[in-house]
A and B are shown apart, each in its own frame.
Chain A
Amino acid sequence: MIIRACALLFLSSLLLAGGCSDGPKTTGMKVYRHSLNGSPTSLDPAQSATIYANHVVVNIYDTLYSYKYLARPYQIKPNLAAAMPDVSEDGLTYTIRIKKGVEFTDDPAFPDGKGRELTAADFVYSLKRHFDPKTRSQGSWFWSGRIKGMADWKQAGSDYDKEVEGLKALDRYTIRIILNKPFPQLVHTLAQGYSAIVPHEAVNYYGREFSVRPVGSGPFRLQTFDSVRAVLVRNPKYRKEPIDLAYEGYDEAIHGKFGIEKIEGRAPPLVDRLEIHFIQESLSRWNSFTKGDEIQYAGIPKELLDDVLARKQPNVLLKPEYAQRFFMTSGIETGFVHTDFNMADPEIGYNKDKRREEMNHALRCAIRYAFNWHERNKRFYNDMGVIFPGIIPPVVPEYDPDGPKDSLEYSPEKGKKLLEEAGWTADKLPTLTYGGVAQVDTRQIFEQYRGWLTKIGYPKEKIVFDSYASFGDFNKAVKQAKIKIVGMGWGLDYPDAENTLQLFYGPNGSPGSNNANFNDPEYNRLYEQSAVMQPSPERTKLYRRMNQIVLDSCVTISGLSRQEILLWHKNVVSYPDRSIVGGFHLKYVDIEEAGK
């Protein structure tokens, strides 16, 4: 009996020892618990393709530039860079000076365990990594073909000891980038998590595991990271830069009610411990948020919108019981959803037979007439999305609010007529494959779409759902141009319409970002012309012309920007942002009362 009891005790201790770890000493510490609806897989900046990864990466590492905390429209500002870059008159040479005395956090990767000073050479190394196949970079496309000599460097075997003509550290604190042709968005790319600066010692020391053992110079350093959360703690070596709210875009009318003025003059980061929880289950996230002592920031689950909101339109308003407990901001996302036709498919896109190509054009336009944006918005986006014509979403300055809206018209009659005029009959119509990941939402979207198409006389059995088990498989089919109709979403990397216009640039066709495989000579010419231009009314004119070409070609049914509603606890001083400012805002978050 005694032996059995001992064995039981021993087993229990083992179990407990396995599940427990040394407790964090959070007494007196300011702890902020943020939540995200997805999780990052890698914290290597070169692989930080998702907003989830970006939220963590930009808080551990430094980027040369970032975005002003409160200014809208978004404004870029120096971060690790001492100032905005000096750009040569031809727009090809960028000279960037970085701040002195910035150090990496202490880590066993460094010879004596002490983090050394970050220098211009570290930036050069970090950008070169993207062109080293071993890195598995997901962000190299930002700079591919743009930096002088980089392609040759890669071709020659990505030897870090060899110099790249267009990417040099002129001295310890000066970087020079020479471009093949002007790239006005370069500074924006240097504000992305991809461009974060890593020390070569850590990359070499941790090897493959560098992706989960980040070593940076950002406001926080990583304490733990797993599938459900990342715990970051204040980096004691982070440079002291007092917050200048006026510079950050503070507006009393907008930000005053959130208590933001309390952080004026203080040096970020303002909390001691930052926990980022990755919670995909919306109800679980909501229960945790409303509990009061768990996560302090969340969105509202779709199924609870009517319970939580007093009004959805024109301005979102919380019910009093929630407004009493939480702060809220709302606004449209910096991206949009759209449905593309695969132009590489001769049955619906380009065709050697010119007559058939014209018929295909009529078919695509007819399908667009069948698309009921109002219903889509109502059923899937709570009637809160903003519908706009084309591929320049309302969030960028180049958006034309007065542009023609005929591409958004829902008219099955016109669609039917268009099909008849083009010579389409039920037997001639091709079988349409609509691709998507095997999920309830995707299936419902497809069924709604199929219902609309039957209204223009499309036989139901000729519209089929091509279901894929994982996003990887779906992406593979898209990148191999195997699907006729592709429902997609795009989140802007930076607030410039170039980032969405490149989605229809011919040379970016599959496996590139141009999933529609659109290849229009005039569009390509205009893209190349505008791609080297600084923001100006002339460039905006070109952007809008390109938007019109896409609409006239009926290559996509677009678009809708979803509404984002962000809530946070009232003892949290914050102005959250999910996309462009994104993770950068977390170093400005403050808690009014430290944990007891």
Chain B
Amino acid sequence: MEMLQYALRKFITGIPLIIGVTLISFLLMVYFGPDKTYELVGKNATEEQIQEIRHQLGYDKPFVARYLEYLKELATFDFGYSDSTGERVNSILKRTVPISLALITPGFVLGNLLGIALALVAAYYRGHWLDKLIMGGSVVGMSVSFLIVIIAFQILLSSNDGLGWFPVRGWNVYSFWDYLRYITVPTLATVFVALGYNTRFYRAVIVEEMGRDHVRTAKAFGTPPGELLFKHILKNAMIPIITRIMFSIPLVVISGSLLVESYFGIPGVGKVTFDAITTGDQPILKAVVGITAVLFVIVLILNDIFYKLVDPRVSLK
């Protein structure tokens, strides 16, 4: 009950945040974003047609009226139709978000789990060649462009010039086996890049934790390395780790991964969002920005609840 009350209270205090984010984003969309009118007019348009389209897009309405309409759309979760395709925005999200989730989740989970595992090893053997090897690998992962990684993995594992084990592109996923075939290469590419950032970050957190008095004391009492790492170090380092993971979730859910989706021909939400940004498809942008803002507020709440779960000293009051 206390948790529910806290969540409700926190959500209400998050409303100004949602309003702030949506207002600034909408301001940018309207005054600095691409003008969709000129994407929709024909090759030989007349001034009359341009005005008709502007009117249909609602560009001739005052900003305040348009923003209030946006808030209403967000409250009712009805964002109308895409200005580009004419499809309902909700249908687009319903179709693409699950695909992006199915695509990104394995890489996200593996990237974080492996990152934590490698960080633990590197931190435990701090200064040792193993630490240097892991950190060197991380720097490589961080330094190589994601695009190059994707192309290299695609050529090595999927193309005829390489091993040719996996499909080059597409998303014909009708069974678990298909799913594994189609996500393996994108996942490996994602993990390769994510590992670099994750390992470095988690190592820094864990190293800091290792220097604390209780760890030194546990060591002095002869605690075995496994127990030391998992029970005394990792558990206490969970707060920054949870924060990092939780705050990545809204982006994973709604933004997808443009490069992975484009290069592997996967019809996820990343490409839809990118196209909406570059062409000024406001209904889709409004949905993506609005939902991301709401998700962030929810993540903030969950974050606090998780803090409480891993550290009982944290109060929800």
List chain A positions with a Cβ less than 8 A from chain B. Answer: 15-24, 41-42, 44, 47, 49, 133-134, 136-141, 144, 208-212, 226-229, 277, 279-281, 283-284, 287-288, 290-292, 294, 469-473, 475-476, 479, 502, 508, 511-513
Contacts and interface: CB of A to CB of B under 8 A. Distances in A.
Interface in B21-72: 34-47, 49-50, 52-53, 56
Contacts of A18: 97-99, 101-102
Contacts of A229: 170, 265, 267
Given A19-B103, A473-B34, A42 B46 contact: no
Contacts of B222: none
B43 A136 contact: no
B38 A212 contact: no
Q: Which interface residue of B49, B97, B103, B266 has the most chain A CB atoms within 10 A?
A: B49
B86 interface: yes
B127 to A, nearest CB: 36
B88 A226 contact: no
B160 interface: yes
A515 to B, nearest CB: 10
B102 A290 contact: no
B236 interface: no
Nearest to A26: B172
B20 interface: no
B168 A512 contact: no
B90 to A, nearest CB: 11
Contacts of A280: 262
Contacts of A23: 172, 174-175, 178
Given A279-B265, A291-B159, A472-B36, A138 B85 contact: no
B164 A212 contact: no
A198 B271 CA distance: 30
Given A208-B86, A277-B265, A288 B44 contact: no
A287 B159 contact: yes
Nearest to A18: B98
Interface of B: 34-47, 49-50, 52-53, 56, 81, 84-88, 91, 95-99, 101-103, 105, 151, 154-155, 158-161, 164, 167-176, 178-179, 261-267, 271-272, 275, 278-280
A429 to B, nearest CB: 30
Nearest to A286: B159
Contact of A212 (B42, B45, B85): B85
A345 to B, nearest CB: 19
Nearest to B52: A133
Given A18-B101, A19-B98, A291-B160, A512 B45 contact: yes
Contacts of B265: 228-229, 277, 279, 284, 288
A16 B179 contact: yes
List the 7 closest pairs (A to B, CB-CB), nearest first: A18-B98, A19-B102, A23-B174, A211-B86, A138-B42, A141-B44, A226-B267
Given A15-B102, A284-B263, A140 B42 contact: yes
A141 B39 CA distance: 16
A210 B86 contact: yes
A211 B98 contact: no
A19 B36 CA distance: 31
Nearest to B56: A136
Given A16-B102, A18-B102, A138-B41, A469 B84 contact: no
Contacts of A502: 44
Contacts of A290: 159-161
Nearest to B155: A287
Nearest to B32: A469
Nearest to B154: A287
B173 A472 contact: no
Nearest to A470: B34
Contacts of B175: 20, 23
Contacts of A212: 85-87
Given A139-B42, A476-B35, 4 more contacts: A19-B99, A20-B102, A136-B53, A472-B38
B108 to A, nearest CB: 11
A144 B49 CA distance: 12
Nearest to A139: B42
B280 A470 contact: yes
A47 B53 CA distance: 13
B34 A284 contact: no
A24 B47 CA distance: 47
A133 B56 contact: yes
A17 B167 CA distance: 21
Given A16-B102, A473-B35, A281 B262 contact: yes
B168 A294 contact: yes
B173 A227 contact: no
A137 B87 CA distance: 17
A229 B35 CA distance: 26
B178 to A, nearest CB: 8
11 contacts: A17-B98, A18-B98, A134-B56, A209-B88, A211-B85, A277-B170, A280-B262, A469-B278, A472-B39, A472-B280, A479-B41
Given A228-B267, A291-B159, A475-B38, A513 B275 contact: no
Contact of B45 (A20, A211, A287, A511): A511
Q: Which interface residue of A23, A228, A277, A502 has the most chain B CB atoms within 10 A?
A: A228
Q: Which interface residue of B40, B103, B105, B271 has the most chain A CB atoms within 10 A?
A: B40
B168 A288 contact: yes
A209 B275 contact: no
Contacts of A141: 42-45
Nearest to A130: B42
A396 B309 CA distance: 75
Contacts of A208: 81, 86-88
A279 B34 contact: no
A281 B265 CA distance: 9
Contact of A44 (B86, B103, B178, B275): B86
A561 B38 CA distance: 26
Contact of B86 (A209, A279, A511): A209
B106 to A, nearest CB: 9
B192 to A, nearest CB: 18
B38 A513 contact: no
Contacts of B53: 136
A465 B305 CA distance: 53
B10 to A, nearest CB: 24
A287 B175 CA distance: 24
Contacts of A287: 154-155, 158-161, 168-169
Contacts of B101: 15, 18-19
Given A19-B179, A476-B38, A24 B279 contact: no
B46 A511 contact: yes
Contacts of B102: 15-16, 18-20
Contacts of A512: 44-46
A448 B159 CA distance: 36
A511 B278 CA distance: 22
B87 A209 contact: yes
Contacts of B87: 208-209, 211-212
Given A208-B81, A211-B86, A291 B164 contact: yes
Contacts of B37: 472, 476
Nearest to A277: B265
